[in-house]
């Protein structure tokens, strides 16, 4: 079994992936994995909490939509998918991949061919945003009065 940290990091990557990418990754496996749905995929809400002043006491900002699903793959591992949005199929695919990544014949391959490139792509997208932001950085200078 993988450590909690490893599991947290692939879940974060999978949660940000496009559903089609995850679908293709699961379909591409041979032999095709099978799973049992333990908690059927459903969409619901999570209350988003913030802190006064960013660091102070907690308060509720508002809700966000979340989809979730729990599956058990053949062979035993239980996978859990919680993803922002209402895409129930995506939550199920994340749960399936979470189970497959924990152990079994596909774990290594999925980590290398799915999770690693996805993580790279997501980081590149983040860098693109940061580089546009960097282009709008200003250096204010105060005019000296009365000179």
Partner 1 sequence: MSGIVTPTQAALSPGFVEPVLDAQAAFRATLAALSHPGRIEELTLRLNPPAGVDAATAAACLTLLDGDTPVWLAPHAAADGAAAWIAFHTGAPVVSVAGKAAFAVMLDAASLPALEDFDWGSDEEPQRGATLIVQVPDLNAQGGWSLRGPGIATRAVLRIDGLPDSFLAARRAMSGAFPRGLDILFASGARLAALPRTTILEA
Partner 2 sequence: MYVAVKGGERAIANAHAWLAESRRGDPAIPELSVAQIREQQKLAVDRVMTEGSLYDPDLAALALKQACGDQVEAIFLLRAYRTTLPRFGATLPIDTSAMTVRRRVSAVFKDIPGGQILGSTFDYTHRLLDFALMAEGEPAPAPVAAPAEEARVPGVIDVLNRENIIEVERPASGDPAPPDLTREPLRFPAPRAMRLQNLARGDEGFVLAMGYATQRGYGRTHPFAGEIRHGTVAVEMVPPELGFAVDIGDIELTECQMVNQFAGSKSEPPQFTRGYGVSFGHGERKAMGMALVDRALRAEELGEATDAPPNDIEFVLYHSDNVEAQGFVQHLKLPHYVDFQSELNVVRAMRRDAEAARQAALKEAAE
* H/E stretch holding 145: none
Chain centroid to Cα 135, Å, comes to 28
Q: Verify binding: residue 38, partner 1, rule CB under 8 A.
A: yes
Bin 74: left if φ > 0, else alpha if -120 < ψ < 50, else beta: beta
The residues in 42-81 that bind partner 2, with binding defined as CB under 8 A, are 42-66, 68, 70, 78, 80
Q: Verify binding: residue 119, partner 2, rule CB under 8 A.
A: no
Residue 12 phi/psi, 5-degree rounding, is -65, -40
Q: Residue 36 CB, nearest distance to partner 1 (Å)?
A: 8
Q: Which residue has the tokens 């699903």?
A: 69
Q: x/- binding map, residues 76-115, to partner 2, per CB under 8 A?
A: --x-x-xxxxx-----------------------------
Number of residues that bind partner 2 (CB under 8 A): 57
Q: Verify binding: residue 131, partner 2, rule CB under 8 A.
A: yes
Closest listed residue to residue 15, CA positions, set 106, 90, 123: 90
What residues make contact with partner 1 under the rule CB under 8 A?
Answer: 37-40, 42, 70, 72, 78
């Amino acid at each position: 079994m993988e450590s909690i940290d490893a599991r947290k990091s692939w879940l974060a990557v999978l949660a940000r992936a496009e559903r089609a990418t995850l679908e293709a990754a699961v379909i591409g496996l041979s032999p095709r994995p099978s799973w049992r749905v333990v908690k059927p995929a459903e969409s619901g809400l999570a209350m988003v909490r913030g802190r006064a002043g960013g660091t102070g006491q907690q308060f509720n900002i508002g809700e966000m939509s979340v989809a979730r699903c729990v599956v058990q793959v053949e062979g035993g591992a239980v996978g859990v998918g919680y993803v922002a949005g209402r895409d129930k199929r995506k939550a199920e695919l994340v749960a399936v991949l979470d189970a497959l990544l924990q152990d079994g014949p596909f774990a290594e391959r999925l980590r290398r061919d799915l999770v690693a490139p996805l993580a790279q792509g997501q980081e590149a997208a983040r860098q693109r945003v940061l580089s546009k932001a960097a282009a709008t950085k200003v250096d204010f200078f105060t005019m000296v009065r009365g000179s």
